[in-house]
Amino acid sequence: MADIHHDYDALPTDKCAPSMRQEIRVVVAVVLFVISMEIIARIMAPNIDSDREHIHMFPEIIAESAKEAKRKELPNVIFFGNSLMRAGLDEKLVSDCLRKTERPRIVSAKITPVGTAMLDWVYLYQRYFENTNQHPEILVVGFVAHHIHDQEPIKLRRLSRHFLAINDFPEMWSRDLHDFHSIIQSTLCHFSALEGDQPEHQLKILSGVVSDYNKGLNTNNDIIRAAGQRSVLESNMETKEQTFSRMQRLIKICKKHGVEIWFVPMPQPEKWNLHPDAVALIERNEMKLLDARQIKGMTEDDFWDGYHLGESGKKKFSHWMAEQIKNSKP
């Protein structure tokens, strides 16, 4: 039987093993590195992209609009939604139309972070309007079918970092997140810019390294996103089992503070179906439904990508919106 040889010299000895002091140094170095990256992420955050720039301006936009409305004793109107409202409405043109006809004037502002839906709007309103007690007289909410029914968070990182107030965590955990991983990720993203804005930081780095990376990616994303949105709209043509509890939450918050919501189904190249339960919810709560799905004279040529309004479409929609405000006499 062959002798079994153990090469104990090959095993680490106490002399070769790292000391406690060395281990502490490594841990401290890692912690300092993470802290440094977090500081850099927070400094960069407002300028990562146009959407983050807009989001970081929310407090200033909302406060300035409320202050001007109070000073001029005019209704404060907030145009609310996502890129559809951002691309489709020209606030200055709306104001000019009202001024020319000597109809009721307004003070207005746009809060339109891209790629958002009803869940984002509920927490955004709670954080930036309700928590600061700066409510508008009228909240004009632009949407298409898939923005208002209950669904999973579209961008949980951004929602947690930028729209969720710390006192809203219990509500988020109990009503909107259904697994432990999402709860942990949401909490981490709320407190960390590095984690909350991680995809955007990654894009920023790649854009700096690869020439025209951002331009090409945005073009491709716009095409893919528009095609995807159209696909979702087409699927919503068939009335499916949908719920609107989050829409009810937004209505409840606004009613509590005397805010009137004008729900505006946005124009699209083809008419889309508005779920009858959503219509019933709006009517039951005595909010307004201003249907912009088929504005007279608007054609497919008014949409630059088959989903968002282009310059010609923006003019038509803004004139239409001014007409609605004139008729409503806020």
- DSSP for 78-108, please give it: EEESSHHHHHH--HHHHHHHHHHTT----EE
Q: How far apart are CA 159 and CA 246, in angstroms?
A: 15
pLDDT tens digits, one per residue of 257-307: 999 999 999 999 998 999 999 999 999 999 999 999 999 999 999 999 999
* Domain 46-328, architecture per CATH: 3-Layer(aba) Sandwich (3.40)
Q: Please, how many CA atoms are within 13 Å of residue 258, restricted to the half-sphere of its CB?
A: 6
**This prediction's pTM:** 0.82
pLDDT tens digits, one per residue of 159-183: 999 999 999 999 999 999 989 999 9
Lowest mean pLDDT across 81-90, 193-202, 209-218, 234-243:
209-218
Question: How many other C-beta atoms are found inside a 10 Å radius of the C-beta of residue 63?
Answer: 14
Degrees (nearest 5) of the Cα angle 160, 163, 166?
65
Q: How far apart are CA 41 and CA 157, in angstroms?
A: 14
Lowest mean pLDDT across 5-14, 137-146, 295-304:
5-14
